[in-house]
Structure 1
Amino acid sequence: MENTTATTAPTLPALAMYSENTLAKNLWTRSELSPRDRSIVTLAVVVSRHHGAEHAHQISLALDNGVKPAEIAEIITHLAFYSGWGNATAADLAAEQVFRQRGIDISSLPGRDITPLPLNQQAEDQRAQHVSSNFAAVSPGVVQFTTDAVFNDLWLRPDLAPRDRSLVTVSALVANGQVAQITFHLNKAMDNGLTQSQAGEALTQLAFYAGWPNVFSALPVFKQVFESRNV
């Protein structure tokens, strides 16, 4: 039986060889990052970059690797803000199909009625002040929605742990070459419990699913963040 752990089964011989030998038998079995975390990283890539051929498979694999349906729903919702609504709505269609096939009740997934996580008011005040002082005159709407919809709402939704929400965000930033945003969010991820070794191994996973150039563009930023935190 074919091993389809890493990706959907390709037909081209060379691609199939690398998918089976390098991804399924090597990358996905590395102990430096759990299969659950690897699925979170990979799902962030395929959603944020609209890799439609991978959507259903990676959602199914994430479920097999212990990512809960509510967490998958939150990952897709989160990425609507960090990679655009169209990418999220495309993934939503795939998630709906997978969930129905598995008998998962979509109406039970988190919506409006949640109890938000507590807000770190001091950290949020610092972030909001920095953004407002730099950009309020440029786009007050962006500044307002960044506070109201993103950091005072989306980030406080409880069905995806802050550490995992940060892992999704960093993965999407790397996958889309958004290097300028990585420093803030990688520091936030590590404040939320992502370890340095886990962050480094996430880059290894990202190299295959987001491409080597995006990872090598991110490596200096990760290095700088690690060094600044180890002083």
Structure 2
Amino acid sequence: MTQDFPRVAPDMVHDTTPGLGRFTDRVLFGQVWPSAALAPRDRSLLTVSALIAGGKVAQIGSHAGRALDNGLTPTELAEIAAQLAFYTGWPNAMSAAAELDKVFDTRGIPKPKESDAPRIDLPEEAEAARARTVAQNVAPTAPTLARLTDEVLFGDLWQRPDLSPRDRSLATVAALVMLGQPEQLPFHLNRALDNGLTGDEAGETLAHLAFYAGWPRAMSAVPVLKQVLEARKG
């Protein structure tokens, strides 16, 4: 029996590129998105983050709406854009902010406010090790970058309560995979695992991102994840 799949791709896609329409309906939205290996909320967070990182403005609105339906709050979506300004560049984040504004207006959602919850304390041992690495490897050559990394990136951004540490890590990992930056992944994969992501979820993250970042970037991230997981077992 042939399985029926909901038609997700627009008629234009089916009419113009029927193969793309078929894979969109039967694989991406017929198999990947419904898989229980990751929660729908996580899949939306990964997708929105990847789209922001790649500057895929035309796709952000529809996936931001899906993200809201899947449980992300307006404040969390807004904070993803703030987080990714540092990891993918201000222009990408500013473009994303404009798209989020349209989604909020269309849905009658009040503009997000910054959380007044307590700041998140970073693990002292891990933070001390990170600061030493920056002091040794970055500060001698790029002192301003080192100072901003310590004072702003980890002294402010990563401590903001508007995203949970796990969500912030997921957004960052998605951005790094989308940008093809495997050399930055070990630190952030370890951080994600420390923040509650499981090894199985990390593997499924790469499978999901293959459809948005492309197979080459997802495949390049696999050996990095493998090394991280093996090192943590040892």
Q: TM (normalized to structure 2)? A: 0.92
1:2-32 deviations in whole A, cap 9, x for unaligned? 643xx77752222111111111111101110
Aligned Cα RMSD in Å? 1.7
Task: Determine whether 1:216 maps to 2:219.
Answer: yes
1:88-134 deviations in whole A, cap 9, x for unaligned? 0000000000001111111x4217x6631123233222211111111
Kindly indicate whether the alpha-carbon contact (under 8 Å) linking 2:81 and 2:96 is maintained by their aligned counterparts in 1: yes
Q: Distance in 2 between matches of 1:95 and 1:200?
A: 29
Kindly indicate whether the alpha-carbon contact (under 8 Å) linking 1:8 and 1:54 is maintained by their aligned counterparts in 2: no
Query: Which of 104, 111, 114 lines up with 1:110 in the alignment?
Result: 114
- How many equivalent residue pairs? 227
Q: Distance in 2 between matches of 1:33 and 1:162?
A: 17
Q: Which residue of 1 aligns with 2:231?
A: 228
1:129-208 to 2 correspondences below 5 Å: 129-208=132-211
Q: Which residue of 2 aligns with 1:53?
A: 58
**Secondary structure of the equivalent of 1:25?**
helix
Q: Distance in 2 between matches of 1:90 and 1:63?
A: 19
Q: Which residue of 1 aligns with 2:71?
A: 66
Kindly indicate whether the alpha-carbon contact (under 8 Å) linking 2:61 and 2:99 is maintained by their aligned counterparts in 1: yes
Q: Distance in 2 between matches of 1:97 and 1:68?
A: 15
Task: Determine whether 1:36 maps to 2:41.
Answer: yes
Runs of 4+ in 1 over 4 A off after TM superposition: 7-10
Q: Distance in 1 between matches of 2:30 and 2:69?
A: 17
Q: Distance in 2 between matches of 1:161 and 1:10?
A: 39
Q: Distance in 1 between matches of 2:26 and 2:156?
A: 42
Q: Distance in 2 between matches of 1:116 and 1:9?
A: 47
Kindly indicate whether the alpha-carbon contact (under 8 Å) linking 2:84 and 2:172 is maintained by their aligned counterparts in 1: yes
**Secondary structure of the equivalent of 1:136?**
coil
Tell me: CA distance 1:9–1:91, structure 2 relative to 1, closer, same or farther (3 Å): farther
Q: CA deviation at 1:167?
A: 0.6
Q: CA deviation at 1:40?
A: 0.7
1:116-153 deviations in whole A, cap 9, x for unaligned? 11232332222111111112111001100001110110
Kindly indicate whether the alpha-carbon contact (under 8 Å) linking 1:73 and 1:109 is maintained by their aligned counterparts in 2: no
1:37-82 deviations in whole A, cap 9, x for unaligned? 0001111110000111211011001001111111101111100000
Kindly indicate whether the alpha-carbon contact (under 8 Å) linking 1:32 and 1:201 is maintained by their aligned counterparts in 2: yes
Tell me: CA distance 1:125–1:177, structure 2 relative to 1, closer, same or farther (3 Å): same
Kindly indicate whether the alpha-carbon contact (under 8 Å) linking 2:6 and 2:30 is maintained by their aligned counterparts in 1: no
**Secondary structure of the equivalent of 1:26?**
helix
Kindly indicate whether the alpha-carbon contact (under 8 Å) linking 2:177 and 2:217 is maintained by their aligned counterparts in 1: yes
**Secondary structure of the equivalent of 1:213?**
helix
Q: Distance in 2 between matches of 1:69 and 1:9?
A: 30
Tell me: CA distance 1:131–1:71, structure 2 relative to 1, closer, same or farther (3 Å): same
Q: TM (normalized to structure 1)? A: 0.93
